[in-house]
Amino acid sequence: MEIQLNTIYTEDCRSGLKKIPDNFVDLIVTDPPYGIKFGKNEGLYNRPKGGILQGYVEVPDYQYEQFSIDWITECFRVLKDHGSIYIVSGDRNLEFILKALRSAGFKVLNHLVWQYQFGVHTKKKFVTSHNLILFAVKNPKSYRFNRYCRFDQFTKTVHGKSANYKDRESVWYVSKEKWIKKITTPTKLPLKLVEKMIQYSSHAGDVILDPFLGSGQTAIAGKGLGLNYLAFEKNPVFSSFAKYRLSQDRYLVGLEEGKLLNLK
């Protein structure tokens, strides 16, 4: 099968990635399963349960190390020499992702912190209100990093500091999107977060890959910024939802519209 650009494939990325030629994509942005069991209300963020698509596929703890090696090794192969990868992760299985990145040949440049506005309530430990984003490159001597893509060297913050410097600090504060009375998936990333990664590490016309597309955020952000996308999503409900959003150029999908799509 010949891989087609601007296409979402409904299959496990571990098999799908093998169909992509070597050195084919310019950037990878993805949010893989974390290897944890979500609580019954986790992922709702004050949204009605009826708006959360079901069927999220998790990876068992005992499989997580090999799972990480399998997909990350293939990502290294399909990435161009100037390419980068951003992996959003929790901390539970972070060690396996880091090990897989280094084993595949990636150079990890940053552990970015995505800090959001609220976390899961806890009683006997500190509240986790962040996720990690690993930024790694295939060739540390030649990779794309658009230093002034969002702010030039002269723009100041409201406090008179360099806006460019502030934007490149390793802690990113981006609010989660609540999507009240809208359809979404349990683990959807904010569009602004995905766009920031794309802006710093790609050029218009590049190919962006997401092996775990979910609701379609990476493809939507990439398309909006002038990139070609390629994605895998094994959950057929999530995949259908992402395809619908892209085909209709629709960011928000209401509950009533979701019923007409027969999303379950």
Beta-sheet pairing, 130-137 with 79-89: antiparallel
* Domain-wise residue ranges, the chain: 7-260
Question: What's the mean pLDDT in 150-179?
Answer: 94
What CATH number was assigned to the domain covering residues 7-260? 3.40.50.150
pTM above 0.75, yes or no: yes
Mean pLDDT of 73-79: 98
User: How far from each other are the two terminal CA atoms of the chain, in whole angstroms?
Assistant: 30
The answer, yes or no, to whether residue 41 has pLDDT greater than 80, is no
pLDDT at site 1: 65
Contact call for residues 198 and 85 (beta carbons, < 8 A): no
The beta-strand segments (E) located in the chain are 7-9, 25-30, 79-89, 107-115, 130-137, 171-173, 207-210, 228-232
Lowest mean pLDDT among 68-72, 119-123, 226-230: 119-123
